[in-house]
Amino acid sequence: MSAATESTQTQTQQCVANGSSGNTEPSTEISATSSVSSSSPVPQSMNGTAIDLAPASASAAAPPSSAGKPSTHEAKRFLLKHKEKLKMNQYWYSVPTIAAMVDECERESKRAAFLSTPSIFFSLNDKALQANSKVFDYDEMWAKHPGFVKYDYKKPEEIPKDLHHTFDFIVIDPPFITAEVWAEYAKAANMLLIKGTEEIEIDSKLADEYNAALCRSHAAGLASLNGEVSGTSFAGNIASMLSSVFNMGSSSSSSPTPSTLPTPIPPRPSPSDPSRSIVTVPRGKLLLSTIPEHLGYLYVLLGCYQPKFRPSIPNLIYQYSLYVNYPSSALMRLNPEIDDDESMSPDDFTARKKPTINF
* Domain regions of the chain by residue span: 68-197+281-351
pLDDT higher for 260 or 231? 260
Give all strands of the β-sheet with 134-137 in edge-to-edge order: 148-150, 134-137, 112-115, 169-172, 285-290, 321-324
pLDDT higher for 180 or 350? 180
What is the rounded CA–CA span in Å between residue 14 and residue 18? Answer: 6
- Split at pLDDT 50, 70, 90, the class of 159 is very high
Beta-bridge partner residues of 167: 193
What is the rounded CA–CA span in Å between residue 13 and residue 212? Answer: 11
Give Cβ neighbours of residue 31 (< 8 Å, ≥ 6 apart). 201, 202, 203, 276
With CA atoms as reference, report the closest residue to 305 among 262, 337, 336. Answer: 262
Contact 231, 173 (CB under 8 A): no
Superfamily of 68-197+281-351 according to CATH: Vaccinia Virus protein VP39 (3.40.50.150)
61-76: average pLDDT: 63
Burial of 29 (0-12, 13-18, 19+ CB in 10 A): exposed
**Averaged confidence pLDDT in the chain:** 78
pLDDT in tens, 309-340: 999 999 988 899 999 999 999 999 999 999 87
DSSP state of 142: G
- Split at pLDDT 50, 70, 90, the class of 258 is confident
